[in-house]
Amino acid sequence: MNTGLMAVAASVCMLTGIGAGLGIAIATGKATEAAARQPEAAKSIRTILLIGAVLSEATAIYAMFIAFLIISKM
């Protein structure tokens, strides 16, 4: 197998981690703004934020797992 191509594939998989990090950062910023505007809704905003962060982080973990599988085949 072509190990260079597999290394590129693993690197592309790990780019998902950058997207997940940026997504969580943007969502956290927006949730902070929303909680500042409506302090009485802070609890529901926090709940929605945590659900979104968990789903975004799960995507990054799946990508890391696939990258490890690709690397283990080298």
The residue extents of the domains of the chain are 3-72
pLDDT, tens only, 10-21: 888 888 888 888
pLDDT, tens only, 39-68: 999 999 999 999 988 988 898 899 889 888
Phi then psi for residue 2, to 5 deg, are -85, 105
| Contact (Cβ atoms closer than 8 angstroms) between residue 45 and residue 31 | yes
52: left (phi over 0), alpha (psi -120 to 50) or beta: alpha
Q: What is the pTM of this model?
A: 0.72
CATH fold for the domain made of 3-72: F1FO ATP Synthase (1.20.20)
Distance between CA 5 and CA 65 in Å, rounded?
18
